[in-house]
Amino acid sequence: MMNFNRIGWPEFQNMLSEYGADGVHIVDVRDEQSYEAGHVENAIHLSGSNVASFVQSADQAKPVLVYCYHGNSSQSAAAYLAEQGFEATFSIDGGYETFYDKVTV
């Protein structure tokens, strides 16, 4: 059973417009070096070392927009966050690889 939704970058941008940067959690699950090299504005780097604190401290009512490299790992992360009680989790299809083709930051 899929407890998260899959969206593309256009839907991501629509959600940012609707909720604003403070109204959503943008989560990057790529490795730290990739995150440091470039990431979506306001994205939180989530890894095994900080996921528990994120789950405990983040507002679970805010939508969570998760991306990775290609859109595969983000599905597992979105499912996990949904299982932890986040009300609306979204995996972004295509991942960061397609980010600059689809979104104007």
CA atoms within 13 A on the CB side of 66: 26
Catalytically active residues are: 68
Asked if pLDDT for residue 104 goes beyond 90, the answer is no
Which residue ranges make up each domain of the chain? 5-102
pLDDT band of residue 99 (cuts 50, 70, 90) is confident
pLDDT computed for residue 70 by the predictor: 93
pLDDT per position as a tens digit, 38-91 = 999 999 999 999 999 999 999 999 999 999 999 999 999 999 999 999 999 999
Which pTM value belongs to this model? Answer: 0.92
**2 or 42: which leads in pLDDT:** 42
**Cβ(46)–Cβ(8) below 8 Å:** no
At the top level of CATH, the class of 5-102 is alpha beta
Residue 70 — φ and ψ, nearest 5°? Answer: -120, -5
